[in-house]
Structure 1
Amino acid sequence: MTDLDPVEAVDLDIYDSGPLPWSRAHDRLAAELPKAETPLFLGTVRPDGRPHSAAVGAFWHDGDLYFTSGPGTRKSRNLAVNPACTISVRLTGVDLVLEGEAARTVDPDVLAHVAAGYRAGGWPAQVDGDALTAPYSAQSAGPPPWHLYRFTFHTAIGVGTAEPYGATRWSFAR
């Protein structure tokens, strides 16, 4: 049992490879985040309905993903109006799309834990009040301080990119 187990797994594979186990995606998320070389993209919706996508660095903690964004960025402004979003990530052996919602968190314990995780992954983040700072960040993050968002997902779709292949949609009770 992981920190988050699916309530349903639907086999989407058209080549009879069988369903992927959630543990495959879960274990890769835990191992590969927040490494800068792991490509991860946040998809949000603008107030006029147009899509927006931006690369973010994320940290896996207790079954949720956490990411940062400056309050004036397009992604933060989009999430303030509509928290529904996706995270797409290429992990070793599996491409993964997560569907859920993101909300800002200001919990001091979570901020400290996530900042420590980012530091372990190579980004020197520090807690500054109810946000994070560092000497640098991605251009798309905007200027510091950066708000911390908790991404809670209810659906995940994984496609195996290495043996064993397969494609699966997992649903989670949240």
Structure 2
Amino acid sequence: MGVSEPVETTNLDRYGNEPLPWSRAHERLKVDLSKISTAAFLSTTRPDGRPHAAGIGALWLDEDLYFTSGPGTRKSRNLAANPACVYSVRLEGLDLVVEGEAARVTDGATLERAAASYDQDGWPARVDGDALTAPFSAPSAGPPPWYLYRIGIHTAVGVATVEPYGATRWRFRD
């Protein structure tokens, strides 16, 4: 599935800077999401319409954005009712906000690749049925097992925090 090149790029910069290339965000996602120090948040909508946000550890794998969450957490319950979500992350030199829909991943091959990638990054995840487990996880993930979700990216907005500066919106094919 993966996110490739955007189908539309819009320059949001009001200071005369050129639009940022998607390749800049793409490269930072590949590098920075493997660092435990990369702060990221997932925003979902509660059934009553109120917003909810939680810190998450994300994974860039096979050109897609993944995260884990326990089935009983607020974010998982929200996504079961409404898969629309927003992922926000501070990458090196670029603040990025991604809008899309989260879908639970249950196929064994993807779960195995995700577990191996998480393990390589320092979280000893392994596949347990149609979910992941490990000796520990972030407190916001809830108890194991943890579901794996893929965010289908529709739109992303990047604001550069180092030169070359700029602000850009990228739209992707649904």
1:47 maps to: 47
Give CA-to-partner distance per residue, 1:75-131, whole Å, 9 cap, x none. 000000000001000000100000000011101000000111111111111111110
The structure 1 segments of at least 4 consecutive aligned residues displaced by more than 2 Å after TM superposition are none
| 2:3–2:172 CA contact under 8 A, matched in 1 | no
1:139 maps to: 139
Residue 36 of structure 1 and its aligned partner are, at CA, apart by: 1.3
| 1:3–1:63 CA contact under 8 A, matched in 2 | yes
The CA RMSD over aligned residues, in Å, is: 1.1
2:117 maps to: 117
Give CA-to-partner distance per residue, 1:13-67, whole Å, 9 cap, x none. 0111111010000000011113211111000000000000001111112221111
2:21 maps to: 21
The amino acid that maps onto 2:114 is V
Q: Does the alignment pair 1:4 with 2:4?
A: yes
| 1:3–1:62 CA contact under 8 A, matched in 2 | no
1:83 maps to: 83
Structure 2 spans left out of the alignment, 5+ residues: none
Equivalent-residue separation in structure 2 for 1:20 and 1:170 (angstroms):
9
Percent identity for Structure 1 against Structure 2: 66
Residue 3 of structure 1 and its aligned partner are, at CA, apart by: 5.5
Q: Map of 1:144-159 to 2, 5 A cutoff?
A: 144-159=144-159
Equivalent-residue separation in structure 1 for 2:76 and 2:3 (angstroms):
27
Give CA-to-partner distance per residue, 1:109-164, whole Å, 9 cap, x none. 00000111111111111111110001100000000000011111110000000000
